[in-house]
Amino acid sequence: MTTVSVSPEVTPTPPPAVPGEPGPFAVWPASARPAPSGDVCVGGVSLAEAADRFGTPLYVLDEQEVRERCRTYRTAFPDADVVYAAKAFLCRAVAHWVQEEGLGLDVCSAGELELAVTTGFPPEKIVMHGNAKSPQDLATAVRLGVGRIVIDSTCEIARLATLVPVGTRQQIMVRVVPGIAAGGHTAIRTGTEGQKFGLSITDGSAQHAIARILDQPALDLVGLHCHIGSQITTSKPYLVALRRLIGLMTRLRDQHGITLPQLDLGGGHAVAYRPGEEALDVTTLAARVRTELADGCARSGLPVPRLTIEPGRAVIGPAGVAVYHVLAVKRTGDRTFVAVDGGMSDNPRPALYGVRYAPTLIGRRSRSAPRPVTVVGRHCEAGDILADNVPLPDDIRPGDLLAVPVAGAYHLSMSSAYNLVGRPPVIAVTDGTARVLVRRESLADMSSRDIGL
Catalytic residues: 380
Strands laid side by side in the 40-42 sheet = 33-34, 40-42, 45-46
d(CA 320, CA 65): 9
Q: Is 241 helix (H, G, I), strand (E, B) or coil?
A: helix
Q: Write down how long the chain is.
A: 453
d(CA 19, CA 164): 48
Give Cα separations from 300 to 226, 243, 250, 292 (angstroms): 20, 11, 7, 12
- CB contact at 8 A, 176 and 199: yes
Cis previous bond, 57, omega within 30 = yes
Residue 399 DSSP label = T
Helices 236-256 & 205-213 angle (0-180, nearest 10): 50
Angle at CA of residue 412, ends 80 and 377, nearest 5°? 140
